[in-house]
Amino acid sequence: MYEVQATAGTVYILRPEFGSDLLKELGDFVRAKGINLAWFSALGAVSRATLRYYDQVKKDWVDLELDRRLEVAGMLGNVSLLNGEPIVHAHATLADEQGHCYGGHVGADTLVFNLEILLTTLSGPAVTRKMDPQTGLTIWQK
Size of the site for Zn ion (CB under 5 A): 1
* Residues forming a β-bridge with 6: none
Other CB atoms within 10 Å distance of the CB of residue 115 = 22
Could you tell me the sign of the dihedral formed by the alpha carbons of 54, 58, 64, 65, in that order?
positive
Nearest 5 degrees, angle CA 21-CA 60-CA 115? 20
Query: Where in 84-123 is the site for Zn ion (CB under 5 A)?
Result: 105
DSSP 124: S
Q: How far is the CB of 104 from Zn ion (least distance, A)?
A: 8
Residues 6+ apart with CB under 8 A from 25: 16, 17, 112
Q: How far is the CB of 98 from Zn ion (least distance, A)?
A: 26
Q: Does position 129 bind Zn ion by CB under 5 A? A: no
Q: How far is the CB of 93 from Zn ion (least distance, A)?
A: 13
User: In the complex with Zn ion, which residue's Cβ is closer, 10 or 56?
Assistant: 56
Q: How far is the CB of 47 from Zn ion (least distance, A)?
A: 22
Cβ-proximal residue to Zn ion, closest one: 105
The closest of 37, 122, 23, 26 to 82, measured between CA atoms, is 37
Footprint of Zn ion (CB under 5 A):
105
